[in-house]
Structure 1
Amino acid sequence: MLEIVLICLFTLATLLFILSFFRKDKTDELEKQVDQMSITYMQEIYQLKSKIRLLEDELLISADQSTAIRQNHTNSHHKLLTEIIDLYEKGYDIQSISIKTKLSKDEVNGLLDSYQKSNSFTGM
C-alpha cells in the first residue's frame, strides 16, 4: 500500500513538473511591460530635456537681445541729449534745435530742463 502511494505521488510530481514547462510565465510578460514603460519614459524625458534646452536658449537669446536694445536706446538717448546740449550751449534757440534734431519744442524743452535740473543738483 505504501508503495502505491509513493508511486502515485511520484507520478503526480512528474506530471506537475512537465506541466510547469507548458504553463505561461506571467513574470516574463510583466518584465517586458516594465521594460517597455521604462523605454517610453526615457524617451519622454529626453524629449522634455530637449524642449527645456531650447526654451533656455530662446530665453537667453531674448535676454541678450533686450539688453542690447536697452543699451542702444540708452546710447541713442545720450547722444541726442549731448547734441541738444551742445547746440544749446552754442547759442541755438529751442526752435532751431527742434528743427535740427527733428524733435518737438516740448521734447527739447523737457530734455534741457532735466539737464539743467541735474546740473543744479551736482553743482555744475
Structure 2
Amino acid sequence: MIEYTFIGLVSFAVLLLLISFFQKDRVKEVEEQVEQLTLSTMQQLYEIKKRVKAIEEELLVGIEPFSNEEQIWRLYKQGWTKEQIAHKVHMPIDEVSLTIARNER
C-alpha cells in the first residue's frame, strides 16, 4: 500500500515537472513588455527634447543680448552692489560706477 502511494506521488511530481516545462514563462513576457515600454518612452523623450531645443533656438534667434551698460543698470536696479556687478560683468568697479552715474542722470 505504501509502495503504491509512493509511486503515485513520484508520478504526480514528474507530471507536474513536465507541465512546468511546457507552460509559457509569464515573467519573461512581462520583462519584454517592460523593456519595449522603456524603449518607446526613451524614444518619445528624445523626440520631445529635440523639439524643445528647436523651439528654444527659434525663440533665441530674435533676442539680442543686453549690452554691458544695460546689464549693469538692470543689476543695479535689482539691488546688486557695485562690487557684485563688477564681478558679474567682468569689469572694473570704476567703470561700473561710471555707467551707473551716467544712467542716473
TM-score range, shorter chain: 0.5 to 0.7
Tell me the secondary structure at the aligned position of residue 64 of structure 2: helix
Stretches of structure 1 that go unaligned for 5 or more consecutive residues are 68-121
Deviation at 1:64, TM superposition (A): 2.5
Amino acid at match of 1:52: V
User: RMSD in angstroms over aligned alpha carbons?
Assistant: 1.8
Q: Determine whether 1:21 maps to 2:28.
A: no
Structure with the greater relative contact order (CA < 8 A, sep ≥ 6): 1 or 2? 2
Tell me the secondary structure at the aligned position of residue 61 of structure 2: helix
**TM-score, scaled relative to structure 2:** 0.58
Q: Which whole-Å CA distance do the structure 2 matches of 1:6 and 1:38 have between them?
A: 49
Match of residue 5 from structure 1:
5
Match of residue 46 from structure 2:
46
Q: What is the correspondence of 1:45-124 to structure 2 with a 5 Å cutoff?
A: 45-64=45-64
Stretches of structure 2 that go unaligned for 5 or more consecutive residues are 67-104
Name whichever structure is richer in helix by fraction: 1
Q: Which whole-Å CA distance do the structure 2 matches of 1:61 and 1:18 have between them?
A: 68
**TM-score, scaled relative to structure 1:** 0.50
Q: Determine whether 1:34 maps to 2:34.
A: yes
Tell me the secondary structure at the aligned position of residue 63 of structure 1: coil
Q: Which whole-Å CA distance do the structure 2 matches of 1:7 and 1:21 have between them?
A: 21
The CA deviation string for residues 21-57 of structure 1, in whole angstroms up to 9 with x for no partner, is 1011111111111111110000000000001111111
Counting matched residue pairs gives 67
Structure having the higher Rg: 1
